[in-house]
Amino acid sequence: MILANIDDYRTLARKRLPHFLFEYIDGGAFSEATLHNNQSDLQQIALRQRVLRDVSSISTKTTLFGQTFSLPLGLSPVGIAGLNARRGEVQAAQAAEEAGIPFCLSTVSACSIDEVSAGVNNPFWFQLYMIRDRGFLREMLARAKAAGTNTLLFTVDMPVPATRYRDMRSGLSGGSLLQRKLTRVGQVLTKPHWAWDVGLLGRPHSLGNITPILGDKAGIDEFWSWLGANFDPTVTWADIDRIRAEWDGHFIIKGILDADDAKQAAAIGCDGLIVSNHGGRQLDGALSSIKALPRIADAVGDDLSLILDSGVRSGLDIVRAMALGAKMVMIGRPWVYALAARQKRGVKEVIDIFAKEMRVAMALSGCTRVEDISASMLENYRA
């Protein structure tokens, strides 16, 4: 199979993964309207084609939070992504490091902070939820600092878990415990490549950062039970303010869609925001991230660095998002599809696809530097 774009990696990931894992990556909340709108709304933004400009030298380098990256693209935190290939988060972090872009590890990764840190040369970003167990939360902060992490992403759009029908149907969360286990075992037996690479050679199978709490024998069912019981619906801005005071590095809030919430984040001293609807996995019917971005950029764009997440599937999407006020975009599903399809090599290939597509979009829009990307590159722009 010739892999040309992100859809091709998605197709190959679907062939290689047990059904419950693919559906977990690919699905969204309820009817998945927001999931689909994230992509379709981006694709409806038209770029202005400009010609007869010297575009022989194009640079995609960018600087964010005091660090220079080869591309305004980062790998988003994705829960249990490490189950999609052998020690998967380590492979993805290595691919990002070699490509010169940021990688963010999830609180609920399959590989622990310590394991990922041992596999790379430079610090990575870390994502944290507000967990009921504040002792665990502070332990995670300490472990991230010990690993050299200087950039914390704090996810705020998950006070309660959403309903994801695909997960219920696939055997990940629906039915009785016995039904789920039998369903998943049956699916694994139909995917010998995954069973060998992850099931056998990917041992030990643990739950990364929460293994100290659940033990190294805990599985996916124990993981979901713990996660559901530990999301904190009581969290407020005062809690975020206290965490911000404890963290002396860069502090980014992930999951903002409203301009008033963005202003509140600026007021407590955040360094950046990720404009995101959790990839359409939480509030179905919410605005797509790209539609929420302009009003947030108008509200706080001069005070905070904005990053767009959710729905980005091409280098053209990077240009579209930056034209509307983002300093960087982050991708989740694309890198996990690539990891499942071709392991570390696949992640590097997908990053390269984004880079090539971005350079083409810039060239045919008459732009040669990331810092020159602006709304004037879009059709229907009004100064």
The number of C-alpha atoms within 13 Å of 179 and in the hemisphere containing its C-beta is 9
d(CA 371, CA 361): 14
- Token pair, residue 57, equals 């030298």
| Beta pairing, strands 67-69 & 62-64 | antiparallel
Choosing from 19, 205, 250, 278, which is the catalytic residue? 278
Looking at residue 104, its amino acid is C
d(CA 352, CA 7): 15
Looking at residue 30, its amino acid is F
In which region does residue 79 sit, left (phi positive, over 0), alpha (psi from -120 to 50) or beta (all else)? beta
Residue 34's alpha-carbon distances to 8, 24, 137, 283, in angstroms, are 22, 16, 30, 8
Q: What is the helix (H) or strand (E) element at residue 333, kind and residue range?
A: helix 333-364
- Token pair, residue 59, equals 């640079």
CA 226 to chain centroid: 22
Q: What is the CA radius of gyration of the chain?
A: 20
Contact call for residues 34 and 67 (beta carbons, < 8 A):
no
DSSP sequence for 298-341: HHHTTTSEEEEESS--SHHHHHHHHHTT-SEEEESHHHHHHHHH
> Phi and psi at residue 102, in whole multiples of 5°?
-80, 145
CA 355 to chain centroid: 17
- Token pair, residue 166, equals 């695909």
- Token pair, residue 252, equals 């980014």
Q: Is 278 a catalytic residue?
A: yes
Catalogue the active-site residues.
278
